Chain A
Amino acid sequence: MTLTGTLPLLRTRRYGSLLSVTGWVAVTVTLVVVLLSLLAPVLAPYDPDFVDLSSVLGGPSSAHLLGTDALGRDMLSRLMFGGRTSLVGPLIVVAASTVLGLLLGLAAGWTDGWISRILTRVFDLLFAFPALLLAMLAIAIFGKGLMAPILAMTISYIPYVARLTQQLVVAERSRPYVQAYRVLGFRTPWVVLGRVMPNLVPTVGAQSTLNFGYVLADLAALSFIGLGIQPPTSDWGAMIEEARGALLGGHVLPALLPALVVVLIVVSINVIGEELSDRIGGKLS
């Protein structure tokens, strides 16, 4: 599973300068964070759950590059392992909602009869439930943890992707080039899947990239208030919560570091998503 953030790199030769300097910086930041998280079991200097009460709330030192938290656990290791939980949730939600949203949006946009009408109504209904709310409801039913909110948020984000896809498909259908395919006798499934969809996927993909940031923030918020991932598993949101005591006592790092990483990742993903959107919008016009 590749992150959307890596695609531009693979196509640099064909597209030339896909992103601005800021964009490439954002990609780099994202990659660094992702790699550090992925390779945490290999690269992390300490076990993230290793409690060492003798070195509580220590600042950065040669032993602990980013210091320690209120239980003496190494911040760097916790951040790296935290990335694994914090990043995987949004990834699943975005990937699943994009795929399902594309399919449903396609069905809603290409057909004209009751299928389209029913799907549109279903989307409208799901729109009434904000993602975070549905996640909370799911937690109320299934219990705390990541599975319930991930499932719920996937369902909540499907209509956003689907509605966008539907609008794009409806617009493309009436374009002369699509009608030319029909008059030329090309089979409809081939036209839809082989020609129309590839024209839409970039736009939808760019939007999904933006959704990643929102989902990450929401899941971290759930962990923050204790409804999501449960301790002692490290997760950036939970880490911030755990560091509140230290913060009030004047020790800033244990709270600041995870907060910074969250903000940094969300900013980077947003920058990438927006630049891609602009780029793609400009290309198709």
Chain B
Amino acid sequence: MAVTQLAAPPAPPTPATKKSPTAAPLALVLRKVGTLLITLFFASLIVFFSRFVLPGDPARFLLRGRSPKPEALAEITKQFGLDKPPIEQYFTWIGGILHGDWGRSLTYRQSVSDVLLTRLPVTLELVALAAVFITGLGLIAGMLASLNKGGWDRFILITVTAAGAIPPFVAAIALTALFAVQLGWFPSFGSGDEGPSRLWHLTLPALALGVTFIAFMARVTRSSMNEQLTREHVEVATSRGLTRSSVVFRHVLRNALGPILTVSGVLIAGLLVSSAIVEQTFGLTGIGQLLVQSIDRLDFAVVQAIVMIIVTAFVLANTVVDLIQPLIDPRIAAGTESR
């Protein structure tokens, strides 16, 4: 239909005197970091004060499931400073966190930070391996689907729709049943020792964890690239005589990265949290499994700490994504955020 665009934006026709693309990168970074810290502050408030939602004696709450002997109650009260006002308790907690003191675990009778540190590597490795699968398989599948309409596209789309509906725990069971029990290629339990054994032990869990997200990544990649393929600058590039591969790499993929990156932020949240389920299922000694166990054993100090860690990791990841965006799309750096 008629596209005689005569939009009247209130833009002054001052040519070529606008700000440079990297207007004030430092200011941008500082602003983002500031937002990060504020978000973390409020998040920590939520995490800390969440237990106050429940009425009743906080000491008994923390000792649920264990014998509430008077000495134990007194001990708990002293340890957590329960006789002090809530605000003060909060600041003690926060202060402790920033100094590396995350409290004591009732189950392990150790400092929480000790327990966490021993388990962190497994989780990190699991998530990293899953991320490799996701970016590798997901991106490639998405690109294939977008560039080969017809054959590959339908096949990938169907596979991906089905795979995306398989929750991590179902994938875990299915993969275990097939590859561990039936075929015996991979172990079904435990995290193994450092090195190749670890990798071998983590393969199935990482796949189980990644299945839904591989599907998600594939679809986002596919739709983002499809959207770019219809853009006029792609047609212009083709009309100037660039080869198909040049056009795809320089103009389609490059421009499609933005939305893909944004989505990665959300993916990370899902990964971090679903890893708890996968770790529990495969008996991996990571912080996810610790979280589940601590909830089960009513070890609240540990739960609080792990939730805080995951939230921090998530917000941090999103901030990093936000900071990378202007590098990919200079319009965002200039403040005219649009696509």
Q: Which residues of A contact B (CB under 8 A)?
A: 124-125, 128-130, 132-133, 136-142, 213, 217-218, 220-221, 224-227, 237, 240, 244, 247-248, 252, 255, 259, 262-264, 266-267, 270-271
Contact = CB atoms under 8 A, between A and B. Distances in A.
B150 to A, nearest CB: 18
B146 interface: no
Given A140-B300, A141-B53, A227-B292, A263 B274 contact: no
B188 to A, nearest CB: 8
A141 B168 contact: no
A244 B283 CA distance: 14
Contacts of B40: 128
Contact of A247 (B181, B272, B315): B181
Nearest to B168: A221
A224 B294 CA distance: 16
27 contacts: A124-B39, A125-B43, A125-B46, A128-B39, A128-B311, A130-B269, A130-B270, A130-B310, A132-B276, A133-B307, A133-B310, A133-B311, A136-B295, A140-B298, A141-B54, A217-B212, A221-B169, A224-B281, A225-B292, A247-B176, A248-B181, A259-B170, A262-B170, A263-B165, A266-B165, A267-B162, A270-B161
A240 B171 CA distance: 11
Given A128-B43, A136-B291, A263 B170 contact: yes
Contact of A225 (B169, B269, B315): B169
Given A128-B39, A128-B43, A139-B295, A247 B273 contact: no
A221 B51 contact: no
B311 A266 contact: no
B64 to A, nearest CB: 8
B167 interface: yes
A221 B296 CA distance: 15
A237 B280 CA distance: 14
Contact of B47 (A137, A213, A252): A137
Interface in B151-183: 161-162, 164-170, 173-174, 176-177, 181
Interface string B164-208: 111111100110110001000000000000000000000000000
Contacts of A267: 161-162, 164-165
B296 A227 contact: yes
Interface residues of B, number: 47
Contacts of B140: none
Contacts, number: 110
Main secondary structure of the interface of A (DSSP, over half): helix
B165 A224 contact: no
Given A141-B51, A252-B177, A255-B177, A132 B274 contact: yes
A140 B292 contact: no
A215 to B, nearest CB: 11
A52 to B, nearest CB: 25
B54 to A, nearest CB: 6
Given A125-B42, A137-B307, A140-B300, A240 B169 contact: yes
Interface of B: 39-40, 42-43, 46-47, 50-51, 53-54, 161-162, 164-170, 173-174, 176-177, 181, 212, 269-270, 272-274, 276-277, 280-281, 291-292, 294-296, 298, 300, 303, 307, 310-311, 314-315
Nearest 4 pairs of A and B residues by beta carbon = A217-B167, A266-B165, A267-B165, A130-B269
B177 A137 contact: no
A37 to B, nearest CB: 18
A142 B298 CA distance: 10
A128 B310 CA distance: 9
A259 B296 CA distance: 24
Contacts of A248: 177, 181
Nearest to B174: A259
A225 B270 contact: no
Nearest to A132: B273
Residue among A218, A221, A266 having the largest count of chain B Cβ atoms under 10 Å = A221
A225 B167 contact: no
Residue among A128, A129, A138, A244 having the largest count of chain B Cβ atoms under 10 Å = A128
A150 to B, nearest CB: 15
Contacts of A244: 173
Contact of B54 (A139, A142, A224, A226): A142
Nearest to A271: B161
Nearest to B295: A140
Nearest to B162: A267
A217 B274 CA distance: 11
Residue among B42, B166, B173 having the largest count of chain A Cβ atoms under 10 Å = B173
B167 A266 contact: yes
A263 B165 CA distance: 5
Given A128-B39, A132-B276, A225-B276, 20 more contacts: A125-B42, A128-B43, A129-B46, A133-B273, A133-B310, A133-B311, A136-B295, A136-B303, A137-B307, A138-B50, A140-B298, A140-B300, A141-B53, A218-B167, A221-B167, A224-B169, A247-B177, A266-B165, A270-B164, A270-B165
A247 B175 CA distance: 12
B296 A226 contact: yes
Contacts of B39: 124-125, 128
B173 A129 contact: no
Contacts of B310: 130, 133
Contacts of A237: 169
A270 B215 CA distance: 13
